[in-house]
Structure 1
Amino acid sequence: FASQTPLACKSFIQNCLDNYYLGCEFHRVVPGFCVQTGDPSNTGDGGVNGAYGGPFADEIHSRLRFRTRGMVAMANANRPNSNGSQFFITLDKCEELERKHTIFGKVADATIFNVIRIGEGELEEGTERPVHPVRITGAEVVVNPFENVVARTKKAADADEAAKDTAADGKGKVRQREGRAQLSKARKNLVSFDDDDGDGGGDDDDDDVSGA
């Protein structure tokens, strides 16, 4: 749902391109409700920064609802506009989550049965922690609707090439210093998106799916 929730979609795609989710466990399973992942620490307490270097705003869209299983949405820190990298997939309709979480995707076709199997795994007694958690082993971005979202390693390489071109153009040390400054800036802030948070007006009530 890139048009309706661009912030969440950009963050998710960026993390996929960067292999940020590689090795992440589905660390939380609530039978009949949701499965949750996206925390590289696999504790449920990490992954708070996501692709933006900090939490990003909710994007609540009236046409995106928790009316069926397979909806993919951002987990948060039990307060509005606290989205990071963690996300969850619903196992059933979850109308109690309406206007509390940003929905940015939906599981396609028969893949939902893999999600259901994750939701049926054995849990540690008295917890939502799987005994044998499923891990993410890879991610492929088949269609990327955002031209400015590329793998961070590629952005660093492009910045290196730009700096070399600047140094080789024969226009002196001033241009060379400018190239190095641009390279340094690129390495410190390799993801540069439009700062259009578009607060979706999420509820202030406690959320049922958190980053913890």
Structure 2
Amino acid sequence: MSNIYIQEPPTNGKVLLKTTAGDIDIELWSKEAPKACRNFVQLCMEGYYDGTVFHRVVPDFIVQGGDPTGTGAGGESIYGRPFKDEFHSRLRFNRRGLVAMANAGPHDNGSQFFLTLGRADELNNKHTIFGKVTGDTVYNMLRLAEVECDGEERPLNPHKIKSAEVLHSPFDDIIPREIKKLKKEKDKEETKKSQSKATKNFSLLSFGEEAEEDEEMVNQVSQTFKGKSKSSHDLLKDDPRLSSVPAVDKCIVVFMISKLYFSIYSDELRKEARQLKKELQAIKQRKEESSKPAKDDVKEGMCANTLALLNSFKSKLSSAITEGPQEDVEELAEDDDKGWMAHVLQFDEQSRKVKDANMQDEDTFEIYDPRNPVNKRRREESKKILKEKKAKR
């Protein structure tokens, strides 16, 4: 484990996340991943992560958060668009406690990040590692995963980020945006406007006094008859066929209307798809039909040429056979293509005769074995004859 820490580069920058599971200290690799660290530090300064939940938990793998919507599909970077991945050879997913950017694909980094709960080699060169959890706060990080989850890796009671505090910023030129304050002020103004009642200024009208008297009379009558209005259901309580509950729920009506709309829309799409398929098939058939005659013409031309050549060869053969071979040597010496046509092809017949082993022929081969007793007697006889010849001399 110490080997791993020695291989990692030094950090520069520190952020404290205050969560419902406890404080988490994060040290940043601002030199190796400057864009990701700047994005994370500025969002922490602006309070972007305050109140956000850890919406995804995979045991022994990761804990993901940083989405203000809490769905996993929201969040944006400080650059106004997704920024590029930043990979480093000395930063690998080889242990727990690493902080990396979450994305939906290459170069699609926003505001979401995740913390590793163990080794994750399959994430190498896919997600940007920009920080690590330090000290005993690793145990608080592990507590984030101690929640019940549904089948889609979503916790039923997720932990939240209460606030984020930048203890040491590696970037001195960061100016936090006042987006959150402006949003709060706008919300307050809207609530005040909605709560304020509209007052009528009758002094602007020429008949202002009469209008005020009529308004007072209407208010008095409405207050006297307030709460006394009854429906036909209230008057006919004895009728068992009537009920105070509406026959059709509004939600069901809206659902049915939307379903009908989508079914009509899907039918139209299907019709368009069928028409497109028919058009494509017709175009293919036209192309095939246009290409077929050309191929047939080529084949017919080739067949005609081969037949013509064959007929010419047959005629040459027949004419050469009828004329017969010419015996003149001078004429045969000339290079003529038709000369070989009149000749007959003959092969040499090799006669296979049965040879007798006792009969000596020019092709016979005698095998002489000196150990044979017959050969020994012959040698002795030949020696005697030679001795006798020498004695006579």
Provide the TM-score with structure 2 as the length reference.
0.38
CA distance in 2 between partners of 1:80 and 1:148 (Å): 28
Deviations along 1:148-173, one digit per CA (max 9) or x if unpaired, are 1132139x9xxxxxxxxxxxxxxxxx
Q: Which amino acid aligns with 1:96?
A: E
Name the residue aligned to 1:69. Answer: 96
Alignment of 1:111-190 (within 5 A): 111-124=137-150, 126-153=151-178
Deviations along 1:114-152, one digit per CA (max 9) or x if unpaired, are 11111121112x121111100100011011111111321
Name the residue aligned to 1:38. Answer: 66
Q: Which amino acid aligns with 2:160?
A: R
Q: Number of residue pairs matched?
A: 152
- The answer on 1:81 being equivalent to 2:135 is no
Name the residue aligned to 1:187. Answer: none
Select which of 130, 134, 137 maps to 1:104: 130
Larger Rg: 2
CA distance in 2 between partners of 1:53 and 1:24 (Å): 20
Q: Which amino acid aligns with 2:119?
A: K
Q: Which amino acid aligns with 1:73?
A: A
CA distance in 2 between partners of 1:40 and 1:5 (Å): 23
Alignment of 1:12-27 (within 5 A): 12-27=40-55
Q: Which amino acid aligns with 1:59?
A: E
Q: Which amino acid aligns with 1:99?
A: N
- The answer on 1:60 being equivalent to 2:98 is no
Name stretches of at least 5 consecutive residues in structure 1 with no aligned partner: 157-212
Once the two structures are TM-superposed, the CA of residue 56 in structure 1 deviates from its matched residue by 0.2
- The answer on 1:2 being equivalent to 2:27 is no
Name the residue aligned to 1:168. Answer: none
Name stretches of at least 5 consecutive residues in structure 2 with no aligned partner: 1-28, 182-393
Deviations along 1:96-119, one digit per CA (max 9) or x if unpaired, are 101100000001111111111111
* Corresponding residue SS for 2:154: coil
Once the two structures are TM-superposed, the CA of residue 11 in structure 1 deviates from its matched residue by 0.1
The percent of aligned pairs where both chains have the same amino acid is: 53
CA distance in 1 between partners of 2:110 and 2:178 (Å): 21
The list of structure 1 runs, each at least 4 consecutive aligned residues, that deviate by more than 6 angstroms after superposition, is none
Name the residue aligned to 1:195. Answer: none
Name the residue aligned to 2:390. Answer: none
CA distance in 2 between partners of 1:150 and 1:29 (Å): 33
* Corresponding residue SS for 1:116: helix
Say which structure is richer in helix.
Answer: 2
Once the two structures are TM-superposed, the CA of residue 51 in structure 1 deviates from its matched residue by 1.2
CA distance in 2 between partners of 1:72 and 1:107 (Å): 7
* Corresponding residue SS for 2:140: helix
CA distance in 2 between partners of 1:100 and 1:153 (Å): 32
Q: Which amino acid aligns with 2:133?
A: V
Deviations along 1:10-37, one digit per CA (max 9) or x if unpaired, are 0000100000001110000000000000
Could you say what the CA RMSD is over the residues aligned between the two structures, in angstroms? 1.4
